[in-house]
Chain A
Amino acid sequence: MRFTRTSKALGIVAIAALALTGCGGGGSTGGSSTAAGDPNKVITAYSNEPQNPLLPANTNEVYGGRVVNLLFEGLRSYDANGKAVNALADSIESSDAQNWTIKVKQGQKFTNGEAITAKTFVDSWNFAANSKNLQNNGFFFESIAGYDDVSAVNSVKGADGKTTTTPAPKADTMSGLQATDDSTITVKLAQPEADWSLRLGYSAFYPLPSAALADPKTYGENPVGNGPYKFEKQGSWVHDQSITLVKNADYKGTREAKNGGVTFKFYTDPGPAYTDLQSDNLDITDVLPSNALKTYVNDFPDRNATKAVATDSTLNIPGYNPNFQGEAGKLRRQALSYAINREEIAKVVFNGTRTPAKAFAPPVIDGFKEGIKGSEVLNFDPAKAKDLWAQADKIQPYDASKPLQIASNTDGGNKEWIDAVANGFKNNLGIQAEIQPFAKFAEVLNLRKSQQLPGLTRAGWQGDYPSLYNFLGPVWATGASSNYEKYSNPEFDKLLKEGLAAKSTDEANAKFNQAQEILFQDLPGLPLWDQARPIVWSNNIVKAETGWNGEILYYGITAK
């Protein structure tokens, strides 16, 4: 709906008058604009303030990530189904999964005219991996030989017993990373990793112009990239308000923009965004307020889509809890899993936006296998649950002095399903169970890290790149960065390693699925459900869809 400024002002004055006298009254609405299709139209999209300067290797949250992904093009990119396809790479080859040769397309440029060569990538990666540059995603280069020197840190134990870590790189470049000529990158990994090339589409591996390396902070305010979009102008990022991107006409690739640009409008809450969408004041959102999950299909008929997302959610059981140790603990973990009615909770609490989990990785990922040995624990079977619990009690009685708590932050709509799970434990196992609520995610995380949570905890993982390993390694491997409950099984680690060293992706995936069998035996966490992400759009948009990780494919949106 379009109004002239004056007519709008008059309208609002009328509102004020009506409101103040407490009278109601009908009014005519303006005619909605029915402009014809326009490939140059700029669409508006829901977002929020990015947390860091927009450097790809420093961006590890969704709101910065969606901008960075549109501003840059890497060696590879992921299509809508999560398949990695070559983008700036002509070819990526390796005979032993350890030594890789990457041929870079020639003649590519950043929007400031700077040429992109093999050296651009090498410099960018060395920059990102260097611990003194403090890049959040620096650890993505950990597989490359020489990473340990570049990323070295100094840990000092202070007088108060707290350890402080400071960057202390021993080298500026990774020994395993070379640009042999303008078009060739050779990479030597510390150990063979069959799925390494799958990562190359992730934002940490994007190329950076030299200005970014010289002054990352300034650059991050007005980033210059090589992707399907570019900043409209210097200062397009209006903090706490919006970021405006326009189509990069020079971009030639698989993600060419079908619209004139994207303006990300920042909302601190999804509620107002939903209202804006209802009046075509915003064009698309991927975050719905929880009370709209039941109504969005009716509110936006023919203007919504729901697609599976590569995320995992689990209920983790810390190994230090005495009730869940030894043989009895194993039986109890299984009993808990059998006692969760995933099907019903997905239907009733989540209105079908989630489906029961079938493994420790989501089905959208290549190599996903249903019916892994041991995965029957994901079925709802109250009789079996009771039976297993009773068996465990014979080995070692359950300490019922305190109720079994499930820790979670309650601000993200988690309370409802946790209550449902806790009720399942109560009704089917006859134990006391309840939510251990926290106002903020940070509190739970702190307690998880310091191993102080008395009971279970909710955990979630969103894939960085579409690979089975990415859902297993960083979460369950011994000492892994997001393995907060410190689960450790050497056999599992060994299978992961073998999978990484496999010659082909199929062979690797077979090993990873074998590793999942161990997880199903140990159940360090109970897989809960797979997510689907609903999106809705305005009357200004023809159609939209999300990619493998739930991010809207903004470049593919056509405006009416």
Chain B
Amino acid sequence: MIRFILRRLLQVIPVFLGTTLLVYYMVFALPGDPIAALFGDRQPPQAVIDTLRSQYHLDQPFWVQYGLFLKNLFTFNLGNDFTGQPIAASLARVFPVTAMLAVEALAIQAIFGVAFGVFAGLRRGGWFDSTVLVASLVVIAVPTFVLGFVFQLVFGVKLGWAKPTVGANADWVTLLLPAVVLGLVSFAYVLRLTRASVSENMNADYVRTATAKGLSRPRVVLAHILRNSLIPVVTYLGANLGGLMGGAIVTEGIFNVPGVGNKLYQAVLRSEGPTIVSIVSVLVLVFVVANLLVDLLYAWLDPRIRYDQ
């Protein structure tokens, strides 16, 4: 078990170097001088531009820039972004917000997706199953940004139930609307995965045995059917967490959430290599850890799975 975890953590190193190198190079290759772009039509004195350029090592060749970035990273000093703000501080501001959003969205997906999926799967072909199947198909078919705008308009503007945007001081309540939008598409997938899995396991031998033993219906459903049906769902949710953390750019944009997506978007606009790669580095870690947790969950869900030979 410990060896398994260690081995998995060691894999982070090549993944990490590869992604940061790739992303850093892509930002480096973007055309245009990012420092000059900060100022638009009204350029400051050349000395200001040149000083900033050397301060951010933009006058150095690619390998030197990347090397300096790595060095900074391992000394836990991420440096400053182009507005002179420490990158570490802005990461510390945006990640908790997005983490809240992601956890909320993940909870919505997991709780509602699994619950609805189980009900639909148990009464396959029933009215609930049919309704939910059609509804989830609609949700999957509609792009996130359309859902975002519609929800914002209906619940934020017309009905006034929620604030249409999040803005400063994001908390669980203000983040709920974007979390619903963010979680909705994956909710539909979780629901369908659970439903398929449950209806398949319902006819399994061990379920018949459990019922024959005289176990109560809830016990059969929760301990036998559900537990065995969760493996594909957990895999999906784990992979999804990374996506929720990094892929919320559209949702964060629509709801003005001061999170990772918005920061990343602005950093890309400004060609701020160090900021972009710092964010990506954290996302890589999130991805790796989430996948590791999924793998560990497998063993709990299905004791037949063992990690050490």
* Inter-subunit contact A459/B41 (CB<8 Å): yes
A445 to B41, CA, bound (A): 8
A 1-28 to B, binary, CB cutoff 8 A, 1 in contact else 0: 1000100110111111001111000010
State the Cβ distance, B173 to closest chain A Cβ, in Å. 5
In the complex, what residues of A have CB within 8 A of residue B47's CB? 131, 134, 153, 165-167
The SS class assigned to the A binding surface is: mixed
* Inter-subunit contact B139/A22 (CB<8 Å): yes
* Inter-subunit contact A240/B45 (CB<8 Å): no
* Inter-subunit contact A15/B112 (CB<8 Å): no
The answer to the question of B165 belonging to the interface, with a C-beta cut-off of 8 Å to chain A, is: yes
A275 to B167, CA, bound (A): 12
* Inter-subunit contact B36/A272 (CB<8 Å): no
Q: Using a CB-CB cutoff of 8 Å, which residues 229-244 of chain A contact chain B?
A: 238-242
Question: How many residue-residue contacts, CB under 8 A, span A and B?
Answer: 205
Asked, given contacts A15-B180, A53-B84, whether A268 binds B161 with beta carbons under 8 Å apart, the answer is no
Q: Using a CB-CB cutoff of 8 Å, which residues 156-174 of chain B contact chain A?
A: 156-165, 167-169, 173
A 69-112 to B, binary, CB cutoff 8 A, 1 in contact else 0: 00000000000000000000000000000000000000000000
* Inter-subunit contact B262/A268 (CB<8 Å): yes
The SS class assigned to the B binding surface is: helix
B 260-301 to A, binary, CB cutoff 8 A, 1 in contact else 0: 001101100101000000000000000000000000000000
Asked, given contacts A22-B138, A138-B44, A165-B46, whether A11 binds B36 with beta carbons under 8 Å apart, the answer is no
Segment of B13-21, B26-34, B236-244 engaged in the interface with chain A: B26-34
A281 to B265, CA, bound (A): 24
The answer to the question of A482 belonging to the interface, with a C-beta cut-off of 8 Å to chain B, is: yes
* Inter-subunit contact B165/A272 (CB<8 Å): yes
* Inter-subunit contact B51/A279 (CB<8 Å): no
In the complex, what residues of A have CB within 8 A of residue B187's CB? 20
* Inter-subunit contact A60/B42 (CB<8 Å): yes
* Inter-subunit contact B37/A242 (CB<8 Å): no
In the complex, what residues of B have CB within 8 A of residue A239's CB? 85, 89-90, 93
A442 to B180, CA, bound (A): 37
A530 to B255, CA, bound (A): 33
* Inter-subunit contact A242/B165 (CB<8 Å): no
In the complex, what residues of B have CB within 8 A of residue A30's CB? 160
State the Cβ distance, A233 to closest chain B Cβ, in Å. 15
The answer to the question of A306 belonging to the interface, with a C-beta cut-off of 8 Å to chain B, is: no
State the Cβ distance, B193 to closest chain A Cβ, in Å. 16
Contact of B41 among A131, A265, A273, A461 (CB under 8 A): A461
Contact of A51 among B38, B50, B51, B180 (CB under 8 A): B38
In the complex, what residues of B have CB within 8 A of residue A443's CB? 31-32
In the complex, what residues of A have CB within 8 A of residue B34's CB? 442
State the Cβ distance, A376 to closest chain B Cβ, in Å. 28
The answer to the question of A300 belonging to the interface, with a C-beta cut-off of 8 Å to chain B, is: no
A53 to B86, CA, bound (A): 12
State the Cβ distance, A187 to closest chain B Cβ, in Å. 21
Asked, given contacts A22-B138, A49-B83, A266-B258, whether A15 binds B155 with beta carbons under 8 Å apart, the answer is yes
The answer to the question of B152 belonging to the interface, with a C-beta cut-off of 8 Å to chain A, is: yes
The answer to the question of B94 belonging to the interface, with a C-beta cut-off of 8 Å to chain A, is: yes
A165 to B52, CA, bound (A): 11
A 457-485 to B, binary, CB cutoff 8 A, 1 in contact else 0: 00111101000000000000000011000
The answer to the question of B122 belonging to the interface, with a C-beta cut-off of 8 Å to chain A, is: no
In the complex, what residues of B have CB within 8 A of residue A167's CB? 47, 51
* Inter-subunit contact A14/B254 (CB<8 Å): no
B 71-85 to A, binary, CB cutoff 8 A, 1 in contact else 0: 000000000001111
Closest to B111 in A: A20
Q: Using a CB-CB cutoff of 8 Å, which residues 404-453 of chain A contact chain B?
A: 440-443, 445-446, 449
In the complex, what residues of A have CB within 8 A of residue B165's CB? 267, 272-273, 275-276, 281
Closest to A443 in B: B32
Asked, given contacts A19-B180, A153-B46, A482-B42, whether A11 binds B161 with beta carbons under 8 Å apart, the answer is yes
The answer to the question of A491 belonging to the interface, with a C-beta cut-off of 8 Å to chain B, is: no
In the complex, what residues of B have CB within 8 A of residue A272's CB? 152, 164-165, 253-256
State the Cβ distance, B55 to closest chain A Cβ, in Å. 10
* Inter-subunit contact B45/A131 (CB<8 Å): yes
A12 to B131, CA, bound (A): 23
Contact of A29 among B33, B49, B85, B159 (CB under 8 A): B159
* Inter-subunit contact B256/A1 (CB<8 Å): no
Known: A138-B48, A266-B168, A440-B271. 6 other contacts (CB 8 A): A15-B177, A134-B51, A135-B44, A166-B47, A268-B266, A445-B33
Q: Which A residues form the contact surface with B (CB < 8 A)? A: 1, 5, 8-9, 11-16, 19-22, 27, 29-30, 49-53, 60-61, 131, 134-139, 151, 153, 162, 164-167, 217, 238-242, 265-269, 271-273, 275-276, 278-279, 281, 440-443, 445-446, 449, 459-462, 464, 481-482
